[in-house]
Amino acid sequence: MSYVDLHTHSTASDGTVPPELLPMQAVELGLSAIALTDHDSTNGLQACAAACESTGIDFVPGIEISADPGPRVDTDGVERRRGTLHILGLFVRHDDTELAKISERMREARNSRNPAMVEKLQELGVRITYEEVEELAHGQGTQIIGRPHIAQVLVSKSYAKSVSDAFTKYLKFGAPAFIRRDYLEPAHAIDAIHHAGGLAILAHPVQLVMPNADELEHAVKRLTDMGLDGIETRHSDHTPALVAQYEKLAKQFNLLTSGGSDFHGERKTVKLGSQNVPREVYERLRDACKG
Ligand SMILES: [Zn+2]
Ligand SMILES: [Zn+2]
């Protein structure tokens, strides 16, 4: 039996392995196909495709788009932190114009949100600068700056006791320096993936944080009405019980299934190929895309 991994990240987003080196690692593990699905970016696809070709494994050009999970209003009427809605595009054209527009918009959103949060902190009398945040993040070798880096600066300057204290006091949803990020509507993400000739797959449904089965079913129905093609059933965050639940959901809504590790290189403990996704899963997706 041969296995595949249809969810991986490279240095083109927040992974630590360059896209041209990923296929070699996959071959060493005996995988027969991989998808590269960097966050909001197709920049690594050409290099990865070329390396797959020379190592002789099948390549699935992909992307992982962050979309708006919608408001989460609890029974007490209070709006609380929302889960994560990621949509994978598999078999996309790397040079599609709609995907390029999304990448650009998300890049701008990231670049403007963090400085704006630091500005809010300054208005609150907190004396840190954005340069300090950048310095700390780059010192840790990352290109993508986020709230954890701001939190670490707050701790180092004694404005918070710990990173989690910094989130509670300043940075979490609803806290004084929190700024809502610019979210893409899921329908927009699905349309762009289809525009690029790909299949739209709901990534790691567990991260939607919908412990209530009815709520999840409703969310999947809504996405299916928007044109969703499949669900990622196997993922490093899914227990066997969740895999079974998601496979049932896929059947119920006549959706394809996909699976992958969500490998990020050294940055996380997840291993490439660790989900043992059978090659048939890849073949079914490939055939559906052709058809
Ligand atoms: Zn994700
Ligand atoms: Zn991912």
Which CATH number goes with the domain that contains 119? 1.10.150
Q: Which amino acid is at 153?
A: V
Q: Which ligand is nearest to the CA of 63?
A: 2
Q: 148 and 276 share a domain? A: no
Same domain, 236 and 262: yes
Cα 236 to averaged position of ligand 2 atoms, centre (Å):
10
Domain interval for residue 127: 113-171
pLDDT digits (tens, 9 = 90+) for 173-232: 889 999 988 889 999 999 999 999 999 999 999 999 887 889 899 999 999 999 999 999
Whether residues 131 and 79 fall in one domain: no
DSSP symbols for the chain: --EEE--B--TTTT-SS-TTTHHHHHHHTTEEEEEE--BT--TTHHHHHHHHHHHT-EEEEEEEEEE-----B-TTS-B-----EEEEEES--TT-HHHHHHHHHHHHHHHHHHHHHHHHHHHTT----HHHHHHHHHHTT-S---HHHHHHHHHHTTS-SSHHHHIIIIISTTSTT------B-HHHHHHHHHHTT-EEEE--GGGG---SHHHHHHHHHHHHHTT--EEEEE-TT--HHHHHHHHHHHHHTT-EEEE---B-GGGSSPPTTTT-EEHHHHHHHHHHHH-
Q: What's the rounded Cα separation, in Å, for the pair 80 and 196?
A: 34
CA 3 to chain centre: 22
pLDDT of residue 200: 98
Q: What angle, 0 to 180 degrees and rounded to 10, lies between the N-to-C axes of helices 147-156 and 130-139?
A: 110
Residues 6+ apart with CB under 8 A from 240: none
Specify if 184 maps to a domain.
no
Give the pLDDT score at 80.
60
Does one domain contain both 23 and 162? no
Quick one: 254 and 284 in the same domain?
yes
Question: Do 269 and 223 fall into the same domain?
Answer: yes
Answer with the one of 135, 156, 171 that is the final residue of a domain.
171
The ligand with the least distance to the CA atom of 84 is 1
Q: How many domains does the chain have?
A: 2
Q: Considering the domain boundaries, does residue 217 fall inside one?
A: yes
Distance CA 17, CA 210 (A): 32
Residues 208 and 260 in one domain: yes
Is 187 within a domain? Answer: no
Question: How do beta strands 31-36 and 58-67 pair?
Answer: parallel
Pairing assessment for the beta strands 31-36 and 277-278 based on DSSP bridges: unpaired
User: Based on the domain organization, do 249 and 201 belong to the same domain?
Assistant: yes
Dist. CA 63 → ligand 2 center (Å): 9
225 is a domain residue: yes
Distance CA 28, CA 51 (A): 14
Domain termination site, one of 171, 204, 221: 171
180: left (phi over 0), alpha (psi -120 to 50) or beta: beta
206 in the same domain as 77 = yes
Residue range 123-146, pLDDT digits in tens: 999 999 999 999 988 887 666 788
Asked whether 234 and 275 are in contact (CB, 8 A), the reply is yes
User: How many angstroms does the Cα of residue 159 sit away from the middle of ligand 1?
Assistant: 31
Ligand 2 centre from 121 Cα, in Å? 30
Residue 191 inside a domain? The answer is no
Listed in sequence order, the residues at least 6 apart from 265 whose beta carbon sits closer than 8 Å to its beta carbon are: 9, 10, 11, 15, 16, 17
- Same domain for 209 and 81: yes
Tell me the pairing of strands 3-5 and 277-278: antiparallel
Predicted confidence at residue 251, as pLDDT, reads 98
Same domain, 9 and 89: yes
How does pLDDT run along the chain (291 residues), one tens digit per residue? 799 999 999 988 888 899 999 999 999 999 999 999 999 999 999 999 999 999 999 999 999 999 998 776 566 666 665 789 999 999 999 999 999 999 999 888 888 899 999 999 999 999 999 999 999 888 876 667 888 899 999 999 999 999 999 999 999 988 999 998 888 999 999 999 999 999 999 999 999 988 788 989 999 999 999 999 999 999 999 999 999 999 999 999 999 999 999 999 887 789 999 999 999 999 999 999 876
Residue 179 covered by a domain? no
pLDDT in the model for residue 268: 78
Q: Report if residue 181 sits inside a domain.
A: no
- Domain assignment present for 102: no
CATH of residue 228: 3.20.20.140
Tokens of 189: 């993400």
- Between the CA of 19 and the centroid of ligand 1 the distance, in Å, is 18
- Could you tell me which of 222, 219, 266, 261 has the C-alpha nearest to residue 238? 261
Residues 136, 203, single domain; the answer is: no
Centre of ligand 1 to C-alpha 64, Å, is 7
What distance in Å separates the CA atoms of residue 58 and residue 28, rounded to the nearest whole number? 14
pLDDT for the residue numbered 142: 66
Which ligand does the CA of 270 lie closest to?
2
